[in-house]
Amino acid sequence: MISFELGVEDLADTRFALSCLNETVYSLRVLRDPGLHALHLPWRGSVLHRLDPRDADRLVALVGRRLALPDFLTPRPTAFATPLPEELSVVRGTPPRIVRRDLEAALVEGPIPADDASAARFRDDTCDLLQRYWELAVEPVWPRMRLVLEADMTYRARRLALGGARLLFADMHPNLRWHEGVLHIDKMIGRHRVAAAGRGLLLMPSVFAHKPAPPVSPEEPPLLTYPSRAVATLWSPAPVPDATALTALLGAPRAALLALLAEPAPTVELARRLGVTPSAVSQHLRVLYATGLVARARDGRHVLYRRTPLGDRLAVPPGDRPATP
């Protein structure tokens, strides 16, 4: 069990953060053990199909025998949402002795760097590897992940406002227990108690965490990565556009115009097809153009209009869209 002693000032300094690096590193557990989260299996299969096998082996080797991760790869964020290059810059500044300490504490399989020079090379090579992995596996889905994570934080902040720390932690995970100012985290490889001592508590939801995960080392300040709510919605397919809903959103005339603009057409032709005046069509086209749903180009005496990719996403069901290169 790992425990965090939190005083009044620490509770006042309890806050949330997002971390690109944290999610990237925690996703390595799913690569190593697909049974942790069956929901992520489609994502895992897609990533492994595109990932260099040598990189995959090196990434999986960063996960310890009991699925612990080296603390130096998940540094405490200094802002709400720190960009990945800044987080990796912090990792590159980790002293070699800390790199070796954290690899040993996480029970990472394989040889531990024997000296400072080899530990520094290992650290820097790992940062380069994680950068490539982020770009291939996590960055393409990060906007969707961020929506899920921010929704969880909104829920947790409301729980904290309504019932304090006791309500905040009550339904976060069965392994968490709040009692008399101490947060207990069960089923950990570590067995220590950390006094926050004015450093506060940083909470980080994760779509890839299968249970609460504090730092392995007792020397690190209190930080808790925990499983986010609503992960099942992450890989849900986007809803198919509904013509009725599109009409309600844009109005019938503009929805009809958008449907006609799969191919370039001038105002006069659009008016003829819709049975309205060119001036009425021009008025609606100005709105569609201003909102980025249609583009225009001059062809001699005529101005031709056509749907933009954004307009296509609104007007065309995903299965009917042309393949993109």
| Residue 323 binned pLDDT confidence (cut-offs 50, 70, 90) | very low
- Total residue count of the chain as it appears in this document: 325
Q: What DSSP line would sit under 173-211, residue for residue?
A: -TTEEEETTEEEE-S-S--EEEE-TTS--EEEEESS-SS
| pLDDT at res. 301 | 79
Q: How many other β-carbons are positioned within 10 Å of the β-carbon of residue 213?
A: 25
Enumerate the domain spans of the chain: 2-233, 243-320
Average pLDDT, the chain: 90
User: What are the pLDDT digits (tens) for 3-28?
Assistant: 999 999 999 899 999 999 999 999 99
309, two tokens: 């990719």
Backbone angles phi, psi at 218, to 5 degrees: -70, -10
This prediction's pTM: 0.73
| pLDDT at res. 325 | 33
The whole-angstrom separation of Cα 301 and Cα 298 is 7
Residue-wise burial string across 11-37, b where 16 or more C-beta atoms lie within 10 A, e elsewhere: bebbebbbbbbbbbbbbbbbbbeeebb
**CATH architecture, range 243-320:** Orthogonal Bundle (1.10)
| pLDDT at res. 242 | 63
User: What are the pLDDT digits (tens) for 307-320?
Assistant: 998 888 888 654 44
| Amino acid (one-letter) located at 200 | G
User: What are the pLDDT digits (tens) for 160-179?
Assistant: 889 988 999 999 999 999 99
| pLDDT at res. 26 | 96
269, two tokens: 């032709």
| pLDDT at res. 57 | 95
The whole-angstrom separation of Cα 56 and Cα 261 is 45
